[in-house]
A and B are shown apart, each in its own frame.
Chain A
């Protein structure tokens, strides 16, 4: 009896569960034609070494630091030459959160608003578009549009942690998101220094919404998304009806790529000028010469060493534009990861380096 019990308990003690594999087995990066407007090609035809590209995909599937990577797409000469969905094949059409890559879309929309005259000048104060600023938040009346799109408003809005303002927004605690941002104290005078936060693009969404006379997402669908074939997306509004500005878009890697393609082609898409080339040039040029590796334009990130412009969303949502190679690389990742568990640009860019190395 005692032996039976010892054996039974030993057997139970050894019982353990195993992780499922994080990634599917890598089979192929051959793109599928799903009739979403993208032109499909192959690496050889566009001047990429297929064997080197295969080794890049092998790295993406096996590198422990990239465990949360969900998709890797490579576009050359505006054509999709390789794609893989590491977690689930359905991610080809399943929308996921792109978090702060929404900010880069806000940058494009600001340009379209300027092109269309909805915003007379980026030097305009936000009080010209948000009259409530003058009435209730006069210390912020002088903040300009340009300060919003370069993260220079000076408003003390904290993205991080349980005590941060974004956390309160995600819990939908404030009744009115615009007033919530405007009611924050100033940390510096407007225009003094760069302070990356979700509050500035949120105010930019409110400005566009006021100027366009309709929610930013609705206007964006008319002037941008419908024109570049982005149809598989959703842009979340706050409970007061204001479109989220610092984050909020849910879409697919293929749709995110179309936004990057429009920027890479100086604002054109399928030979139609969507946003002026002048704005695109300004938007992706260095406006904030940050001390680190990455510089900042109008919401767009720039790696000056590599000459790569990119979108960057929390968790590891990227669209990299490599102008020298006419190359676009899109990476998306499990989005709600925090701290060390999210893919940073420092971890994603070496993969882009490998893809550049594979180009003839």
Chain B
């Protein structure tokens, strides 16, 4: 696992540096997402817990010639409810995307390329499951499609992605137990255990983001829809509707 992290780090630094060396535009954006979430975990008796998740997200976008490289990370906390309170934490440590420009229309650029992302989602249901922790973690790979459309004086950005292959960790089918399975080290060790490789028949994570920007303003709004499903036992479904507020921290043009 350490090797994977080191490799991803080297890739990231390499891509950021090469992007900046080419003298193309790099943007840093901070987003605040307010999400309405629905979680259905087979471990939680088939209940759908609904609630609010607040997420902070950082995005780096570099335009390399006509192509796009982006890196994203996010951290979220939330609570949901159904026959008892649920608490959730989520972490996306990395989301790399390299988009190849597939048209020559400067008014409506379209990019398509692969993305590689990692997600961790922890759940705790203190009223229904005492001190037992559930989680799903995934490293996923798939295509992402981006298009920008002029709408009067604004630009509408639409981004869609779906995972095609993934490595996932879910808890083992759990036998009820007296002793709690929750210690601090479990937050780190459990989500890296029992990793299973699969394709869309095992896991799918799809995301649609629609963002309206104004070229002369440093902030924008976006709507995002996200679905995450793990289809083997213990099955897991996650659905989120987000309203995002995005602040562009600055533009950089080197050379």
Contact partner, B127, options A1, A19, A97, A339, Cβ 8 Å: A339
Complex formed: what's the CA distance from A22 to B129 in Å?
16
Within 8 A of B (CB), among A34-80: 67
* Nearest-CB residue, chain A, relative to B82: A19
B178 touches A19 (CB 8 A): no
Q: Report chain B residues within 8 Å CB of A167.
A: 131
- Shortest beta-carbon distance from A42 to chain B in Å: 31
Neighbouring A residues of B127 by C-beta, 8 Å: 337-339, 341
Q: How far is the CA of A9 from the CA of B225 in the complex (A)?
A: 9
In A1-53, the 8 Å CB interface with B consists of: 1-2, 5, 8-9, 12-13, 15-22
Nearest-neighbor residue (CB-CB) of B48 within chain A: A17
CA–CA, A67 and B45, complex, Å = 11
- Docked pose: A292 CA to B226 CA in angstroms: 52
A244 cross-chain contacts in B, Cβ below 8 A: 178
A42–B84 CA distance with the chains assembled, in angstroms: 38
> How far, in Å, is B160 (CB) from chain A's closest CB?
11
B241 at the interface (CB under 8 A from A): yes
- CB pair A338 B126 closer than 8 Å: yes
Asked if B178 and A170 make an inter-chain contact with CB atoms under 8 angstroms apart, the answer reads yes
Closest chain A residue to B38, Cβ basis: A17
* CB atoms of A334 and B149 under 8 A apart: no
- Asked if A250 is at the interface (CB within 8 A of a chain B CB), the reply is yes
A45 to B129, CA, bound (A): 41
Q: Does B2 contact A (CB under 8 A)?
A: no
Q: Which residue from B46, B84, B177, B180 sits with its C-beta under 8 Å from A341?
A: B84
> B128 contacts A334, CB within 8 Å?
yes
**B216 on the interface (CB 8 Å rule)?**
no
Contact of B131 with A171 in the complex, beta carbons under 8 Å: yes
B176 contacts chain A at the CB level, 8 A cutoff: yes
Q: Is the CB of B40 within 8 A of A22?
A: no
Q: Let me know if A172 and B179 touch, CB within 8 A.
A: yes
Q: Are A337 and B178 in contact (CB under 8 A)?
A: no
Size of the A side of the interface (Cβ < 8 Å), in residues, is 35
Asked if B83 and A67 sit within 8 Å, CB to CB, the answer is yes
**Smallest CB–CB gap between A143 and chain B, Å?**
25
A338 lies within 8 A of B130 (CB): yes
Which residues from chain A contact B156 at a C-beta distance below 8 Å? Answer: 5
B55 at the interface (CB under 8 A from A): no
User: Roughly how many angstroms separate A273 CA and B62 CA in the complex, as a whole number?
Assistant: 83
Q: Which among B83, B131, B151, B210 has the greatest number of chain A C-beta atoms within 10 A?
A: B83
Smallest distance from the beta carbon of A78 to chain B beta carbons, Å?
Answer: 29
Q: How many residues belonging to B are interface residues under a CB distance threshold of 8 Å?
A: 34
Verify if A316 is at the interface (C-beta below 8 Å from B): no
In the bound assembly, the distance between CA atoms of A16 and B84 in angstroms comes to: 19
Q: Which of B82, B84, B227, B241 contacts A13 (CB 8 A)?
A: B241
**Any B CB within 8 A of the CB of A96:** yes
Chain A positions within 8 Å of B210 at CB level: 5, 9
A18 to B149 alpha-carbon distance, docked (Å): 36
Interface 1/0 per residue, B17-51 and A, CB below 8 Å: 00000000000000000000010100001111000
Interface assignment of A212: CB less than 8 Å from any CB of chain B: no
Interface membership of chain A positions 262-305, coded 1 if the CB is closer than 8 angstroms to chain B and 0 otherwise: 00000000000000000000000000000000000000000000
Interface string of B110-136 (1 = CB under 8 A from A): 000000000000000011111110000
Chain A residues whose CB sits within 8 angstroms of the CB of B38 once the complex forms: 16-17
B79 within 8 A of A: no
A20 contacts B46, CB within 8 Å?
A: yes
- Asked if residues A170 and B176 are in contact (CB atoms below 8 Å), the reply is no
A335–B151 CA distance with the chains assembled, in angstroms: 56
| Contact, CB under 8 Å: B84 / A336 | no
Q: What's the nearest-Cβ distance from chain A to residue B172, in Å?
A: 16
B223 close to A (CB within 8 Å): yes
Tell me if A248 counts as interface (CB < 8 A to partner B).
yes
Contacting pair A336 B239 (CB below 8 A): no
A213 and B114 CA atoms in complex are apart in Å by 66
Whether, in the assembled complex, A85 has its beta carbon less than 8 Å from a beta carbon of chain B, the answer is no
Considering the complex, give the chain B residue whose CB is closest to the CB of A87.
B45
**CB-based contact A341/B83 at 8 Å:** yes
Bound Cα distance from A244 to B129, whole angstroms: 20
Any B CB within 8 A of the CB of A236: yes
In the bound complex, what is the Cα–Cα distance between A339 and B125 (angstroms)? 13
B92 contact set on A, CB distance < 8 A: none
Asked if residues A171 and B183 are in contact (CB atoms below 8 Å), the reply is yes
Residues in A with CB closer than 8 Å to B151 are: 2
Measured CB to CB, the closest approach of chain A to B73, in angstroms, equals 24
Residue B101 lies at the interface, judged by CB distance under 8 Å to chain A: no
Q: Are B129 and A19 in contact (CB under 8 A)?
A: no
Residues of A within 8 Å of B164, CB to CB, are: none
A18 with B48: in contact, given A334-B128, A337-B127 (CB under 8 Å)?
Answer: yes
A residues near B, CB below 8 A? 1-2, 5, 8-9, 12-13, 15-22, 67, 87, 96-97, 167, 170-172, 236, 244, 247-248, 250, 334-339, 341
Given contacts A336-B132, A341-B128, 18 further A-B contacts (CB under 8 A): A1-B149, A12-B241, A15-B241, A16-B239, A17-B48, A17-B237, A19-B47, A19-B48, A20-B45, A22-B45, A22-B46, A67-B83, A96-B176, A97-B176, A97-B177, A335-B176, A336-B176, A338-B126
Chain B positions within 8 Å of A, measured between CB atoms, are 38, 40, 45-48, 82-84, 126-132, 149, 151, 156, 176-180, 182-183, 208, 210, 223, 225, 227, 237, 239, 241
A selection of 7 A-B contacts at a CB cut-off of 8 Å is A9-B223, A12-B225, A19-B46, A20-B46, A96-B176, A171-B131, A337-B127
